[in-house]
């Protein structure tokens, strides 16, 4: 999770800084936009990472529950001879 937080922050900061700079914003304004974008993107990436981890855990649990025999091994009821 920390890795996703760092990656999200770095990418968000770069995106916010570049877009604000392209808008001909002042440096303090560009820095502020970069910080806000870093916060928002890191929060979003951590949320997505937790959702992804939860989904993988559920899939793993389902696979563990299906690891048993799929066909019943009990003998089938045979008609008795009269």
Residue range of the domain that includes 30: 2-51
Residue 61 inside a domain? The answer is: no
Whether 58 maps to a domain, the answer reads no
CA distances (Å), origin 64, targets 28, 50, 68: 54, 21, 8
Is 73 inside a domain boundary? Answer: no
DSSP for 24-70, please give it. Answer: T--HHHHHHHHHHHHHHHHHHHHHHHHHHHHHHHHHHHHHHHTTS-S
Q: What is the pLDDT of residue 25?
A: 81
Q: Is residue 21 part of a domain?
A: yes
Distance CA 30, CA 32 (A): 5
Tell me how many domains the chain contains: 1
- Asked if residue 60 is part of any domain, the answer here is no
Q: Is 20 helix (H, G, I), strand (E, B) or coil?
A: helix
Instruction: Examine residue 17 and state whether it is found in any structural domain, yes or no.
Output: yes
> Would you state the pLDDT for residue 73?
54
Express each pLDDT in 29-46 by its tens digit: 889 999 999 999 999 999
* Whole-number percent of the chain with pLDDT over 70: 82
Checking if the pLDDT of 28 tops 70, the result is yes
Kindly state the average pLDDT of the residues 70-76. Answer: 56
More confident residue, 70 or 37: 37
């Amino acid at each position: 999770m920390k890795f996703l937080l760092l990656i999200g922050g770095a990418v968000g900061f770069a995106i916010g800084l570049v877009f604000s700079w392209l808008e001909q914003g002042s440096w303090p304004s560009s820095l502020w936009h970069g910080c806000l974008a870093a916060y928002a993107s890191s929060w979003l990436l951590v949320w997505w990472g937790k959702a992804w981890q939860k989904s993988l855990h559920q899939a793993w649990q389902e696979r563990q529950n299906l690891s048993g025999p799929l066909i019943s091994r009990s003998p089938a009821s045979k008609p008795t001879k009269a």
